Amino acid sequence: MKKTAQSWFLGGPSSGGLDKQKSASLLADWNAYASSQDPDASALGFDIESAMRTTGDKVSGTFNVVSKGVRGLPGSFQSASRNVPSAKSLMYFGVLLASGVFFIFIAFTMFLPVIVLVPQKFGICFTIGCALIVGSFFALKGPRYQLVHMSSRERLPFTLGFVGSMVGTIYVSMWLHSYVLSVLFSLLQVLPPYHL
């Protein structure tokens, strides 16, 4: 029983000649099998070695083309990474954006239900929230770039509409105390920033 178990684990016959017979390696077995086969009787119909060589040549050729294309790009890594915001500007962006969302959340949850009684609180809170959200993009892209972007010919009407609706919201909520006009100017305030 012991010899049978040993032979089973060692992969040989159960006779005592286990130590005398050394099994050949898998590569030697494969080479012996491949040399015994008739090349015309092969079911695959292609040579694995030449296929691997061809594949390797194609892959290395592809990498050469890609590397030449990357080297041929105009500019350098510094010019490409110039528009990537720094960690400090990303932090300012996140803080201003979160603050703006917080003010708008407060405006809608606390002051919209009582806008008839206190339209100025809704108007101020909503306007501060929108201003902080737009300010977050000033922090992300840089003030100069954002001002040039907002004052371009296509976006200038939207920028003027946004600033006008912010001033209008403050005016109608603080001095006129009109809740209908406060809601109207707040809605106008929401529309233009999508085009800024």
pLDDT in tens, 119-159: 788 888 989 998 999 999 999 888 888 888 888 888 888 88
Query: What is the CB-side half-sphere exposure of residue 102 using CA atoms within 13 A?
Result: 7
Tokens of residue 37, six digits:
């086969």
Distance CA 111, CA 119 (A): 8
109 phi and psi angles, rounded to 5 deg: -85, -35
Distance CA 171, CA 18 (A): 100
Strand, coil or helix: 25: coil
What is the band of 20 on the pLDDT scale with cuts at 50, 70, 90? very low
What is the band of 18 on the pLDDT scale with cuts at 50, 70, 90? very low
Distance CA 71, CA 63 (A): 12
Query: What is the CB-side half-sphere exposure of residue 29 using CA atoms within 13 A?
Result: 5
At CB < 8 A and 24+ separation, what contacts does 48-55 make? none
First CA to last CA across the chain, in angstroms?
A: 86
Contact indicator for 23, 12 with CB cutoff of 8 Å: yes
Kindly give, in sequence order, each residue whose CB lies less than 8 Å from that of residue 96, ignoring residues fewer than 6 positions away: 132, 133, 135, 136, 139
pTM: 0.55
Q: What is the mean pLDDT of the chain?
A: 75
